[in-house]
A and B are shown apart, each in its own frame.
Chain A
Amino acid sequence: MKKKILAVLLSVAMVFGMAACGNNTAGNQNSGENVALEGEDAVYRVLYSSEIGTMNYLTSGTSADQAVAANTVDTLIDYDSNGTMVPGLAESWSYDEATMTWTFNLRADQKWLDHTGAVVADVTAQDFVDAMKYVLDPANASDTEWLLEGVILNATDYYASLSDDDASNDMAFEEVGVKAVDALTLQYTLEKEVPYFLSMLGYVCFMPAYGPLLEQTGSEFATSEDKMYYCGAYYMANWEPQVEHRYVKNPNNWDADKVYITEIVKTYNAEASTVGPEMAKRGEIDNTTLGADIVDSWMKDPSTSNMVSMEREDTSYSYFYCFNFNVYKLGDDWQRTGTGEYAIDEKYEPWNWEIAVNNENFRQSIMSAVNRVNTVYVNTGDYADPADIIMNTITPTNNIVRDGADAYTTLDAFKDIKAADFYNTDEAIAYRDKAIAELTKAGATFPIKMLVRYNPSTTNWEQECLVLEQQVESVLGTDYVDIIVEAGPSENFLSTVRRSSDYMFMKCNWAGDYADPETWVEPFYQRDNGDGTFHRGGRYAYLAYAIVDDTASADTVKEYFTLVEEAKAITGSDQEKERFEAFAKAESYLIDHALAIPYGVSTKAYIVNKLNVYESQYSPSGVANFRYKGMKLYSNFISMDEYNANKK
């Protein structure tokens, strides 16, 4: 009998025992001077936890898939480590405004390699033409084809003509605005003035591919390492799914002098976040991400504290809170089918929300009550400054770079917004009192129920929502607003929640596609169809329904749309400044009227890493950020001091 109690105690003790040991397994990997490794020593080992679906960069829309192409196929333009555009496969280029034609002069003697490193053919202008033909073939169902539409002459029409079953109306590919003048001269003709065209060239759908191989492999192009040719800094020597990716340096590359890491070995491990830190401690890998909670113990332990550094700032994503302006059910085409049925469960009183969200004082009261510092803290913990993450504009700082400096969010239109602290309890209460008076008149009942959704598979999102709920309710009072936090489905979350309008208030994100402010209005702006309806737009906040329903915010939204349209109309190649200023005016209007609340950029993760992240190419759009070119592998893990020094 006593033995059984003993059994219980013992098992409990063992749990404790397991807990007690743990950090005894490895010593400090950092010893001696931190020098850059060369030649055979420069093999970079890292874990990856989700397998790529294909290497076919002409069709895949997944960034993990595109990361392979980034390192194995070069683009016409390239970026340096400051984000300045530099020549890539194209040595030089020119633009003819009259015919809207770009001409690129390619580098000579660039080779296609197969997966064994053997030279197969030269890289020519025709490879760019063949690749685009592949992208524009509907049978290949490319995910990134949309980027060419409205940019390359006749791309939209060509794609559409091939999409129907009728073969007789098919357009000839020669009519599409891409042409190989000779082996090393490539021409793109545009459909309209596109001020940001050069920045689009860093994207996968503008990459070259060897024509005869495309012909031969068809839809199986790049489904294994031997079905793809490489012309980038590396070639893929081995792709064994869920085992290993092995990249080997391409000695023939024009920029091979700047490729310091000679081999990259990525090993698959689905639990990389769990075993990664331990493997880094034992020196089995050169890079791992540390969860915010583990950082504390790594920093406190003197044997590991000098191994921790951070990722480079990621300015490609922007996070913001959206107010949902549509409460009615949407059809399959994301257009409203009528106002009979609500998209949001009736227990959350969507009719009440419809009144509230269209009241500017209500939106302002929420905006002033949200303290973003608290929610950011959930992700970062004590070792990061919330100010590095929080942002008062939708367009991230340093996203649109000209001559190595931010050319957009530094404009005068943003001056007040950037200086302001949105969080202000006094103002929040003042707005609340005004809103109560107006909303009562409009027939709303209190508290206003505000449904906040999150995806249960996203780390810490739920916790953030809970912090938000308590924080906002404590400022405004639960008799004014009742925040309800509810999980959405973990699969196809955006389709069932955001695009279906099944939320009231939610943190959303958007990544820019090219280096121009126009890409940042896409979540909000909806084109007028001219028949009283609007294009569905980015399917975020459905602002246009404020106009369609003629609500209290109709004029505000109308004004915002007009400002965007005015800005879009400025396209001259010498009018960039005016264009940026006009977009800045629209964006600041959006924020001033609390149509959306800016939140911040992606959280920088803590890493244990032997690379200097500031040596990497830097580009807010395209795939250059994934490139290893330019980075050196060091003998020791980078410490926080070294990281900060590198940053400068």
Chain B
Amino acid sequence: MLQYLAKRFGRSIISLFIIISVVFILLRQMPIEGYFPNYEKMTDLQIQNGLEALGLNDPIPVQLGRFWVDLLHGDLGESITYRQKVPVTEIIAEKIPYSVKLGSMAIVVSLLAGIPMGAMMARYKGKWFDKFGTLFIVFIQAVPAAVYYLFIQLYGTIILDIPLMFDPSNPKSWILPVISMSLGNIAYYGMWLRRYMVDETNKDYVKLATAKGLSGNKVFFKHVFRNAFVPLIQYLPTSFLNTVIGSIYIESLYSVPGMGGLLVQVIKKSDNTMVQGIVLLYATVGVIGLLLGDILMTVIDPRISLSKKEEGR
């Protein structure tokens, strides 16, 4: 297992290298207009000087080499258009805490609500709780998120008597964004857990356990739940780590100065250094998430193995 992890870790580093290099090269294929808001009126010499100042006149391999050397020194460069001349790391470091705080709260809320919901729905399949849960899931699936987010904001702020805009110092103003962000995930966890648990209940070992005289609840929560939770656990680290990505719509509605939509924004502004920095961050997070997910899966279900040499096919 350790050997597997070491190997996989090594390869992940290579992947990161490839990802960021590919993104680096793709970014240099964008038209140069994007770097200059005033492109229309600038002279050729001005544009040349602008490109020179951005280091874009060198051949791409030279630029890439320079980027890697700087990166090894921990230097991701300065933002080009988003916040000119400000170090990328500084900008990102300012924004991450907001998104992570909001996102983690939302995930905790969704797990605390979604998992019991899914489990209860499966336990009382066909009863009123299941029906009520299905109604909720169907509703969340059917109504576009953008629509109910806005209504939560409009009416929630009236009920709580707070301004529409987010204010980090007011604990009340965290409530609505967290609720809005959780709803979709509650439905997601509930729906899939119910599905997996219903599938699991049909298995022979459950029948055996019941026949053996174990109480219904014990079988259900000790065996069925644990088995059914395995497929969900793989996504758990990713979901937590992904909170650094932020929620584009919620953050913009409430004016949360987080990471939400930042990547799309800087791509559109042709801010190469920002894009590179963010992609590196997200990719690292994604790679680690996948790895942690796999490890968690083997921990919770010992039958799963990632590295059985003799079984290799």
A–B direct touch in complex (beta carbons closer than 8 A) = yes
Least Cβ–Cβ distance between A160 and chain B, in angstroms: 6
For chain B, residues 15 to 38, give those with C-beta under 8 angstroms from any C-beta of chain A. 30-34, 36-38
Identify B53's interface contact among A139, A220, A270, A513, CB under 8 A. Answer: A139
Among all A-B residue pairs, the 5 with the closest Cβ atoms: A61-B38, A270-B252, A54-B84, A495-B33, A143-B38
Stretch at the interface among B116-124, B132-140, B169-177: B132-140
Contact indicator B84/A11 (Cβ below 8 Å): no
B45 beta carbon closer than 8 Å to chain A: yes
A56 beta carbon closer than 8 Å to chain B: yes
The chain A residue sitting closest to B260, CB to CB, is A270
The chain B residue sitting closest to A4, CB to CB, is B134
Contact indicator B139/A11 (Cβ below 8 Å): yes
Least Cβ–Cβ distance between B169 and chain A, in angstroms: 12
For chain A, residues 133 to 168, give those with C-beta under 8 angstroms from any C-beta of chain B. 138-146, 149, 159-160, 163
Interface string of A215-256 (1 = CB under 8 A from B): 000011001100000000000000011110000000000000
Residues of B within 8 Å of A149, CB to CB, are: 43
A639 beta carbon closer than 8 Å to chain B: no
The chain B residue sitting closest to A56, CB to CB, is B84
| Contacts A14-B139, A494-B40, A538-B40 known; 4 new A-B pairs at CB < 8 A | A7-B138, A141-B50, A269-B253, A270-B251
Identify A269's interface contact among B36, B44, B252, B268, CB under 8 A. Answer: B252
In Å, the complex CA distance between A53 and B31 comes to 20
Stretch at the interface among B1-9, B148-156, B183-191, B277-285: B148-156
Knowing A7-B134, A53-B81, the reply to whether A267 touches B165 (Cβ < 8 A) is yes
Least Cβ–Cβ distance between B264 and chain A, in angstroms: 11
A577 beta carbon closer than 8 Å to chain B: no
Contact indicator A333/B40 (Cβ below 8 Å): no
In Å, the complex CA distance between A85 and B165 comes to 41
Residues of B within 8 Å of A242, CB to CB, are: 95, 255, 257
Contact indicator B150/A274 (Cβ below 8 Å): yes
Contact indicator B43/A275 (Cβ below 8 Å): no
Least Cβ–Cβ distance between B175 and chain A, in angstroms: 17
Residues of B within 8 Å of A18, CB to CB, are: 147-148, 151
Least Cβ–Cβ distance between B32 and chain A, in angstroms: 8
Contact indicator A268/B84 (Cβ below 8 Å): no
In Å, the complex CA distance between A224 and B269 comes to 19
Residues of B within 8 Å of A274, CB to CB, are: 150, 253
The chain A residue sitting closest to B158, CB to CB, is A25
Residues of B within 8 Å of A243, CB to CB, are: 255, 257
The chain A residue sitting closest to B144, CB to CB, is A15
For chain A, residues 24 to 58, give those with C-beta under 8 angstroms from any C-beta of chain B. 25, 51, 53-54, 56
Residues of B within 8 Å of A146, CB to CB, are: 41-43, 46
In Å, the complex CA distance between A568 and B172 comes to 65
Least Cβ–Cβ distance between A21 and chain B, in angstroms: 8
Knowing A61-B37, A163-B45, the reply to whether A53 touches B131 (Cβ < 8 A) is no
Stretch at the interface among A277-285, A357-365, A464-472: A277-285
In Å, the complex CA distance between A554 and B153 comes to 61
Contact indicator A7/B33 (Cβ below 8 Å): no
A531 beta carbon closer than 8 Å to chain B: no
Residues of A within 8 Å of B225, CB to CB, are: none
Contact indicator B164/A275 (Cβ below 8 Å): yes
Contact indicator A60/B37 (Cβ below 8 Å): yes
B82 beta carbon closer than 8 Å to chain A: yes
Contact indicator B164/A223 (Cβ below 8 Å): no
In Å, the complex CA distance between A15 and B146 comes to 13
Residues of B within 8 Å of A59, CB to CB, are: 84
In Å, the complex CA distance between A20 and B131 comes to 27
A491 beta carbon closer than 8 Å to chain B: yes
B83 beta carbon closer than 8 Å to chain A: yes
In Å, the complex CA distance between A495 and B50 comes to 17
Identify B83's interface contact among A54, A138, A143, CB under 8 A. Answer: A54
Chain B interface extent, by class: 35 or more
Identify A15's interface contact among B40, B45, B53, B143, CB under 8 A. Answer: B143
Residues of B within 8 Å of A458, CB to CB, are: none
Knowing A53-B83, A271-B252, the reply to whether A492 touches B30 (Cβ < 8 A) is yes
Contact indicator B143/A25 (Cβ below 8 Å): no
B303 beta carbon closer than 8 Å to chain A: no
Least Cβ–Cβ distance between B20 and chain A, in angstroms: 21
Contact indicator A11/B142 (Cβ below 8 Å): yes
B217 beta carbon closer than 8 Å to chain A: no
Identify B37's interface contact among A4, A11, A143, A491, CB under 8 A. Answer: A143
Residues of A within 8 Å of B42, CB to CB, are: 61, 143, 146
Least Cβ–Cβ distance between A523 and chain B, in angstroms: 10
| Residue in A3, A267, A270 with the greatest tally of chain B CB atoms within 10 Å | A270
Residues of A within 8 Å of B39, CB to CB, are: 494-495
A116 beta carbon closer than 8 Å to chain B: no
Contact indicator B135/A10 (Cβ below 8 Å): yes
B73 beta carbon closer than 8 Å to chain A: no
| Residue in A14, A53, A138, A160 with the greatest tally of chain B CB atoms within 10 Å | A53
Residues of A within 8 Å of B216, CB to CB, are: none
In Å, the complex CA distance between A491 and B33 comes to 9
In Å, the complex CA distance between A56 and B85 comes to 10
Contact indicator A53/B84 (Cβ below 8 Å): yes
Least Cβ–Cβ distance between A542 and chain B, in angstroms: 15
Contact indicator B153/A275 (Cβ below 8 Å): yes
The chain A residue sitting closest to B165, CB to CB, is A267
Contact indicator A496/B31 (Cβ below 8 Å): yes
21 A–B pairs (Cβ distance < 8 Å), ordered by A: A3-B131, A8-B138, A18-B148, A59-B84, A61-B41, A139-B49, A141-B52, A145-B43, A145-B46, A163-B49, A241-B91, A241-B257, A268-B257, A269-B252, A270-B252, A278-B154, A284-B163, A333-B44, A495-B33, A513-B41, A539-B40
The chain A residue sitting closest to B48, CB to CB, is A163
In Å, the complex CA distance between A442 and B252 comes to 57
The chain A residue sitting closest to B138, CB to CB, is A7
Residues of B within 8 Å of A169, CB to CB, are: none
Interface string of A503-538 (1 = CB under 8 A from B): 000000000010000000000000000000000001
In Å, the complex CA distance between A333 and B270 comes to 20
Contact indicator A270/B153 (Cβ below 8 Å): no
Identify A267's interface contact among B37, B255, B270, CB under 8 A. Answer: B255
Least Cβ–Cβ distance between B52 and chain A, in angstroms: 8
B261 beta carbon closer than 8 Å to chain A: yes
A440 beta carbon closer than 8 Å to chain B: no
| Residue in A4, A241, A275, A495 with the greatest tally of chain B CB atoms within 10 Å | A275
